Amino acid sequence: MTENKQALPGHETQSDEMNCPACGRFVGAVTKCPYCGSKVEKRMSLVATRWAAVLLSTIGLFLLFLMAKHREIPVVLLGDIQPTMNFGQIRVVGQVDSDARTFKNGGMGFNVSDGTGTIMVFVSQKQAKNLLANNLVPKAGDGIDFAGGLNISDEESSMRLLSVKDLHLTRTTAATVRLADINDTLVGSSVTFVGKVVDVVPPPADSKRPYELKVADASGEQTINFWQMEYDQIPGKDALKGADVRVRVSIASYKDKLQLKLASGLDLEILDGPPAAAEPIQSPAQKAAAAYQKEKAPEPRDFSRGRLSQAELLSIGAITAAQDGKVVRLRGRVASVRAPDAGSKQPFSLILKDGAASIRATYWSSVDDVLAIKPVAGAEFEIEGVIEVYQDKPQLKVESGYKVIQIEAASPAATSAPVAISSLTAADKGQTRSVQGTLGAPRALGKGTAFALTDASGTLDLILWDSIIPAGVRDALAEGRQVEVTGEVGEYEGKLQLKANPGASIRILSP
């Protein structure tokens, strides 16, 4: 056995286990001398410590992997998204604004709102095929719970779907209508109807045209458009012609013409016999009145909070400054509605009246975007919000668009009769007036469109803000059309203008 050599000068204070037994040089914790190659014996405690460190670090990395893989992605309100969250993963619980649309590359996209904001969600081609195969294509009004990755830019934010298996839908039933009731006011929504297939027109060979399915009921006839992918999904498609069917379609507008689109072949059901005739479509006011006549009508689901409303219903006259911060529900008739000026940082505001008592309700565009029915003067609404005091007066701060519910639409008597344009003066500013006239050429504004509106007595500017006028209403307007418009009289650069009220406040009198 080789005897330990004497330590080299300067190494005398080192432990023998730190020096090479052959050459006497300092070798530290290594087990083989880097100078002469001799084996260096170490204490078992040091060897065990080294292996324990390796084992513990390996276990620690494995536990970190498991935590990252199985962690629960947090639910985040869209209104709380910040630029620092770019590329982060969040879970959103909300409502689908409109039917998902398919892109040319095979992917999909749809808008989701949660009462605090709206965001576009993109789906990859592979995920889109999976959604179609499992009948999980999001449709207007569906409740949705999904996880996605954020992509935040200065111009707009979006999300990408992380996994189809983590997407959960709560299907909503589309209104059943007659074919004759499908018109411009339904653009952007989904409906269901029943009828008989008159004809199936496939696209010509090597063309880019869609299939055309002609369907008729007792009230009229319509054509449904769809592509080969949707056609392949239709159960019993070989027996389509002459069959009685129930179909759910999304309604769009293209070149001033209505389009009925089949989002999925699974949305077409072949019936065993002739369907029962559908009732004429009800107005929103009729639907709301019928719902509230039920003794145990369920309260609307608030997807922005994930729970049902428990707020106390109070009269407007009972609201005082002492209730600052309290969540309440109020019911009253809308006296006036004011949209924020373009480019301003002001909220929407309306005056809600109950007899002699009144209160101002305010809300931001993120709430307005998801309102099922836009408030108009004369309509009765039930609104939930938080009482806050401004300049010593209580007002209602609305935080969720799903808790703004129309009880009764404005009666014909509640809207003013059409007046001549020349009769409008500066004294009418801030008042709601109705005017009939002919549209001139449209002019693009920052966030809206302006038309010259002319009648036999004069001309003024008609202002349509994109945030409050539905796209289907705006798309139906064109130069030369005669319309009746209800809106608020305003003034810009010394000239009077009429700002159209939110919602379908424009009625086309002639093409």
Q: Could you identify the residue written with the tokens 């379609």?
A: 249
Rounded mean pLDDT of 17-31? 75
| pLDDT of 303 | 41
Is the pLDDT score of 302 beyond 80? no
d(CA 443, CA 184): 22
Is the pLDDT score of 121 beyond 90? yes
| pLDDT of 306 | 37
Q: How confident is the model at residue 301 (pLDDT cuts 50, 70, 90)?
A: very low
Exposure string of 429-448, with b = 16+ CB inside 10 Å and e = fewer, is eeebbbbbbbbbebeeeeeb
DSSP 8-class letter at 31: S
| pLDDT of 150 | 92
Q: Which residue has the higher pLDDT, 263 or 125?
A: 125
Is the pLDDT score of 283 beyond 60? no
Q: Are strands 495-500 and 458-465 parallel, antiparallel or unpaired?
A: parallel
Is the pLDDT score of 412 beyond 50? no
As a whole-number percent, the residues of the chain with pLDDT over 70 amount to: 83
For residue 227, give every residue at least 6 positions away whose Cβ sits within 8 Å of its Cβ, in sequence order, or none.
102, 210, 211
Domains of the chain: 78-170 (2.40.50.140), 175-270 (2.40.50.140), 285-408 (2.40.50.140), 416-510 (2.40.50.140)
Segment among 256-265, 298-307, 445-454, 480-489 with least mean pLDDT = 298-307
Could you count the other beta carbons within 10 Å of the beta carbon of residue 195? Answer: 26
Is the pLDDT score of 231 beyond 70? yes
d(CA 390, CA 362): 11
Rounded mean pLDDT of 460-483? 82
| pLDDT of 298 | 44
Q: Could you identify the residue written with the tokens 């199936």?
A: 200
DSSP states of 445-503: -SSEEEEEEEETTEEEEEEEETTTS-HHHHHT--TT-EEEEEEEEEEETTEEEEEEPTT
d(CA 134, CA 131): 5
Q: How confident is the model at residue 288 (pLDDT cuts 50, 70, 90)?
A: low
Q: Which residue has the higher pLDDT, 128 or 304?
A: 128
Q: How confident is the model at residue 307 (pLDDT cuts 50, 70, 90)?
A: very low
| pLDDT of 414 | 43
Is the pLDDT score of 447 beyond 80? no
78 in Cβ contact with 114 (< 8 Å): yes
| pLDDT of 437 | 92
Is the pLDDT score of 295 beyond 50? no
| pLDDT of 286 | 47
Highest mean predicted confidence (pLDDT) among 143-152, 169-178, 438-447: 143-152
Q: How confident is the model at residue 511 (pLDDT cuts 50, 70, 90)?
A: low
Rounded mean pLDDT of 77-103? 86
Is the pLDDT score of 509 beyond 80? yes
The 8 Å CB, 24+ separation contacts for 256-260 are 256/475, 256/476, 256/478, 258/182, 258/183, 258/184, 258/187, 259/225, 260/182, 260/222, 260/223, 260/224, 260/225
Could you count the other beta carbons within 10 Å of the beta carbon of residue 424? Answer: 20
**Average pLDDT over the chain, rounded to whole?**
80
Instruction: For residue 101, give the nearest of 140, 135, 133 by alpha carbon.
Output: 140
> What predicted TM-score, i.e. pTM, was given to this entire model?
0.40
| pLDDT of 45 | 57
Token digits of residue 240:
């389509």
Q: Which residue has the higher pLDDT, 503 or 297?
A: 503
Q: How confident is the model at residue 124 (pLDDT cuts 50, 70, 90)?
A: very high
Where residue 355 falls (left for φ over 0; alpha for ψ -120 to 50; beta otherwise) is left
- For 126, phi then psi, to 5°, come to -65, -40
As a whole-number percent, the residues of the chain with pLDDT over 90 amount to: 11
Tens of pLDDT along 155-199?
778 999 998 988 988 877 777 888 888 887 777 778 888 989 999
Q: Which residue has the higher pLDDT, 404 or 412?
A: 404
Is the pLDDT score of 115 beyond 90? no
Is the pLDDT score of 444 beyond 80? yes
Segment among 143-147, 153-157, 432-436, 467-471 with least mean pLDDT = 467-471
For residue 236, give every residue at least 6 positions away whose Cβ sits within 8 Å of its Cβ, in sequence order, or none.
243, 270
Token digits of residue 251:
């309604």
Q: Are strands 404-408 and 380-390 parallel, antiparallel or unpaired?
A: antiparallel
DSSP states of 115-158: SS-EEEEEE-HHHHHHHHHTT----TT-EEEEEEEEEE-SS-EE
Segment among 62-66, 92-96, 455-459, 499-503 with least mean pLDDT = 499-503
Tens of pLDDT along 334-378?
888 888 876 677 788 888 988 888 899 998 887 887 777 888 877
